[in-house]
Structure 1
Amino acid sequence: MHVGLGLSFQSFEDELSDAQVWANAVRSSELAIELGFDGVWATEHHFTSYDITPDPLQFLTYIAALDPNIQVGTMASILTWHDPVRVAEQISVLDVLSGGRLILGIGRGLGKTEFEGLRIPMDESRERFIETTELVLDALETGVLKYDGKHFKQPERLLKPAPTGTFRNRTYAAAMSPDSFELMAELGVGLLLIAFKSWDETAKDLVRYREAFAKFNNGAEAPGPLVSVLVTCDDDSERAEKTAKKYMGNYYRSVIDHYGLNKPQNFSNVKGYEHYDATSKELGDEGDEGVDSAVTEFLETHVWGTPEDCRKKIEAIREKTGCGRLLVTFASGGVPMEEVERSMRLFASEVMPGLKTLDTSAVSVG
């Protein structure tokens, strides 16, 4: 199993300067290389301290140069927000410079403030995502940029530099709403699962995804998903629980606030976001009590405890999802850097060796 470090560039409640956030991300990446993690992964977000990563491909180019073996990945590049020609070129440049070590995670975006700031109509996001994804993935596969769509009409040009090889088995798309699972199957990409609901619910979504994948891809078997979780690993189980509840709780409250998941007006009548409209209305109606309950449920989907606790929770997630790659994030919701390092070191020495020996092809689910 690939075990990658998922980075958080959050300055929770603006406690850190932007420069310090990035210094911590670089330090965490260097430590991941030292400890034997397989990859370093970065998100894409704009304009706020929720997550300060406007250009993950540029950041990962720097990380790829630190070590000749470390893989790098996006979790995810929001293709909806980009000119497809330029982002295809940026992806290909990083792939060439890293010698084919890039794993591409893509998404269509959810943050209203980001859509507005980037001047992209949010209710066009699904259409734009499909067109951009088709154009980019086809160009990465064929070396030719060409498309005739509603939003993008691209005259035929060569993609230079050409990527090192196919992205067919190294492209994943973030999916949370039920409709997104079928869309990603139709696009022929793997799934990047970011833990925001119970793994039992996700397992049901995966059954539909695998059925749709076979339908749209000539009976081909869907790849195992890439799973992203928050982790707190500690020799003391009580301290681990206290740390997780505080900082993972902080993080999920910041998620609710950033995306306005308890503000129905953010998604009301926005095409393509009907799932979030229903969720936001429910959370909005329930008030603080609903948010508290959502935070409690969120904590149950993530990984915290002693090394043995962490191992068991990850194995349970693997059994429900069949994941072949795992991304673990230690910095979230204001966790002090010294705690991040301590948790990473313990996880790397006591949990990660066993995960790397797992035969992911042997997992059968759904």
Structure 2
Amino acid sequence: MKVGVFFNWQNHLDWDRYRAKGTEPPIVADATIYDEELHLAGLVEPLGFDSYWAIDHYVTPYGMTGGVMQHLSNIAGRTSRIDLGTMVLVLPWYDPMKVVHQISALDNMLQGRRLTLGVGRGAAIREFDGFRIPMSDARGRYEECLAIMKLAMTQEWFSFDGEFFTIPETTVRPHFRNPERLLADMKSGWASPASLPLAANAGLGMLLTNQKSWADYRKDVGDFNRIRSENGWAATQPTVVVRAACLESSQEAWDAMSTYTLEGQRSSANHYQLDDTERLLNTKGYEQYAQRRKADPTDEQIVEAAARPQAWGTPDEVYDRLRLIQQLTGANEFVLSFRYGTMPVELAERSMRLFAEEVLPRLHKDDAPLDVELSGRAPMAGTLDPGHG
């Protein structure tokens, strides 16, 4: 098993001031969040983790990376061993020529280390508005940008003529260092059922971003690999995102997981504004988000759905929970979140260090099997676990 880490770069305490468009100083400065998260990011390589992953968010306190490619270029310069990944690079927001040049430059900076490109189309109204991109154009822009990326990685000279992008014959410099590997490793995250077949038919891999139950993801993995099989491609294994709280006592770990996951989920709801069902219903490609919208869950329901099935507890308990998630999803790589909500940086560091000392070596020795149902070669026999991611 491979194990990576990501951080949220989240200023959860600033939501009230943000929504009121206040101009007074925030309770916690964004610069403080950056200092703390950079400290934690600096532990990923020396503690023995395999990779560092970055999110791509703007505009709100939810995730303040300010651009995933710039963020990872900084991390590349701070490290020498670990691989890097995007989760996800939101393609509709960007000019594809800028994206392919940024990817190529980072690929060269890594000098042979692996760059895994997780790609997606985004779902936050505020971010699309901030970039002056109509959300209704997201799918078309995503598909064209992905096509241009593939052209740039397979042809030295290329051109493109689409609905959203027209590119005269051009090339990318520096040349990609590892274009075949970049293409082979490219993954897609999805939340809506309509996005799964699009990703599978595009030949992408799977990035399960912890937005539904592990049982639902199990079905998704089987369906995804069945589509790959119909295209003549081998089955693939997902990279799976999991929240972690690895502490000396099970109770302390549960207190941390439940408290700070609840804050993180509330922050996500604020950012994505999924309660704006009228706008979503009238936005092409996002109707299903509104149709799946249910009444606002209680705090207890959020905790049971979003915190209970995660990797929390003593080191032995965390290991056992991750092994169960591997069985359910067929993961060959985990990407762990050790800090969410307003979790103190000291608590997150303690959790990371204990995990690295007592859990990480065991996972590194483990195989990562993909059972026949998940490979798409057999019908699903039913769910194994009611838990949610």
Same fold (TM over 0.5): yes
Match of 2:367 in 1: 359
User: What letter matches 2:88 in structure 1?
Assistant: A
Which 10-residue stretch deviates more, 132-141 or 353-362?
353-362
Cα offset, 1:55, TM superposition: 1.5
Match of 1:308 in 2: 316
Match of 1:133 in 2: 146
- Stretches of structure 2 that go unaligned for 5 or more consecutive residues are 15-26, 375-389
Provide the C-alpha distance between the structure 1 equivalents of 2:360 and 2:142, rounded to a whole number of angstroms: 35
1:58 aligned residue (63, 70, 95): 70
1:320 counterpart = 2:328: yes
Which 10-residue stretch deviates more, 91-100 or 134-143?
134-143
Provide the C-alpha distance between the structure 1 equivalents of 2:230 and 2:47, rounded to a whole number of angstroms: 41
Match of 1:177 in 2: 192
Provide the C-alpha distance between the structure 1 equivalents of 2:292 and 2:332, rounded to a whole number of angstroms: 29
Equivalent residues of 2:56, 2:90 under 8 A apart: yes
Describe the superposition over 1:61-89 as per-residue Cα deviations: whole angstroms up to 9, x where unpaired: 12112222111111111111100010110
Equivalent residues of 1:104, 1:170 under 8 A apart: yes
Match of 2:377 in 1: none
- Matched residue pairs, number? 359
Mapping 1:158-173, distance limit 5 Å: 158-165=171-178, 166=180, 167-173=182-188
Mapping 1:287-306, distance limit 5 Å: 287=296, 289=298, 292-306=300-314
Equivalent residues of 2:124, 2:272 under 8 A apart: yes
Q: Secondary structure at the match of 1:3?
A: strand
Provide the C-alpha distance between the structure 1 equivalents of 2:156 and 2:11, rounded to a whole number of angstroms: 39
1:222/1:139 CA distance change after superposition, 3 Å: farther
1:70 aligned residue (82, 85, 94): 82
Provide the C-alpha distance between the structure 2 equivalents of 1:314 and 1:168, rounded to a whole number of angstroms: 28
TM-score normalised per structure 1: 0.94
1:34 counterpart = 2:42: no
Equivalent residues of 1:320, 1:365 under 8 A apart: no
Provide the C-alpha distance between the structure 1 equivalents of 2:281 and 2:192, rounded to a whole number of angstroms: 16
- Stretches of structure 1 that go unaligned for 5 or more consecutive residues are none
Mapping 1:192-211, distance limit 5 Å: 192-211=207-226
Describe the superposition over 1:278-337 as per-residue Cα deviations: whole angstroms up to 9, x where unpaired: 122x1xxx2453x64244211134221111111111111111111111100111011100
Measured on the aligned residues, the alpha-carbon RMSD in Å equals 1.6
Which 10-residue stretch deviates more, 91-100 or 66-75?
66-75
Cα offset, 1:362, TM superposition: 5.6
TM-score normalised per structure 2: 0.88
1:186 aligned residue (201, 209, 212): 201
User: What letter matches 1:334 in structure 2?
Assistant: T
Q: Secondary structure at the match of 1:53?
A: coil
Mapping 1:116-265, distance limit 5 Å: 116-165=129-178, 166=180, 167-216=182-231, 219-265=232-278
Equivalent residues of 1:74, 1:103 under 8 A apart: yes
Q: Percent identity?
A: 33
Provide the C-alpha distance between the structure 1 equivalents of 2:154 and 2:325, rounded to a whole number of angstroms: 32
1:13 counterpart = 2:13: yes
